[in-house]
Amino acid sequence: MIQGQDQPDYPLTRFSEVVESLLVTLGLWTGVIWLLLLAVIMVNVIARYWFAQGFIELEELQWHLYSTGFLIGLTYAFVQDAHVRVDVLHQRWSAVTQAWIELYGIIIFLMPFLLLVIYASVPLAQYSFNTAEISQAPGGLPFRWLIKGLLPVSFVLLLLAALSRLTRVSSFLFNWPCKVQV
C-alpha cells in the first residue's frame, strides 16, 4: 500500500496470498524490462545520431519491451494498490463504505471489462500464432504472435489480481473466505 492513502488494509486470504506473491514477484522481475528498454533506446539514438544508421529491429523492440512492461506493470500496480483512484470523495468515506465501493467496482466494472478484453484478444493472438505473423517492415522482428499473445496473458493475470482483491474485500466485509492467520 502506498503511504499516505486512507485505503483500508484488507485481510489476506489463502488465494490472495498465493496469487499476490506470484504477481508481485513477476512485477519485480518485469522491472528488468525497463532497464533493457532504456539500453535499447540509447543504442538506437546513438546509432541514429552519431553513425547515421537506423535499425527497424531496435525501434520495434522498443515497442515490444514497452508493451510488455506496461501490460505486466498494470497487474503489479493493481496488486500493490498503486493505481490511480479518485480520492477526493473516497478518502472521506469509512473503511466499510470504501470496501463496498471496491466490491461493486470490481464486480460491475472491472471484471466485465477484463473478460471482454480476454475474449476479444484470444482470437487475435491465436490467428497471429497460426499464421506465424511477422513484422511487415523490412528488417522487422519475427514472432509478432508473441507480443499479441501477451495481451490475453496479461489480462488473465490482471483478472487473477482482481479475483484476489475480491476475496480480500469479501473477507473484510463478510469474513469469508477465511483470513490468513499471521
Residue 1 lies in a domain: no
Residue tagged 490468513 (cell numbers)? 180
Q: Are 157 and 72 in contact (CB under 8 A)?
A: yes
Phi-psi region of 7 (alpha: psi -120 to 50; beta: other; left: phi over 0): beta
pLDDT on residue 3 = 38
Counted domains in the chain: 1
Residue 147 lies in a domain: yes
State the pTM of this model.
0.87
Residue 125 lies in a domain: yes
Residue 18 lies in a domain: yes
> For residue range 77-104, what is the model confidence (pLDDT) as tens digits?
999 988 776 667 777 888 899 899 999 9
pLDDT tier at 2 (50, 70, 90 boundaries)? very low
All residues at 6 or more sequence positions from 64 whose CB lies less than 8 Å from its CB, including other chains: 141, 146, 147
> For residue range 137-170, what is the model confidence (pLDDT) as tens digits?
887 788 888 999 999 999 999 999 999 999 999 9
Distance of CA 152 to the CA centre of its chain: 11
**Containing domain of residue 117, as a range?**
14-84+93-174
> For residue range 29-51, what is the model confidence (pLDDT) as tens digits?
999 999 999 999 999 999 999 99
Residue 7 lies in a domain: no
Give the torsion sign (CA, 170, 116, 85, 87).
negative
Q: For the chain, give the percent of residues with pLDDT over 90.
A: 66
Residue 132 lies in a domain: yes
All residues at 6 or more sequence positions from 137 whose CB lies less than 8 Å from its CB, including other chains: 56, 60
Rounded CA gap, 149 and 128, in Å? Answer: 8
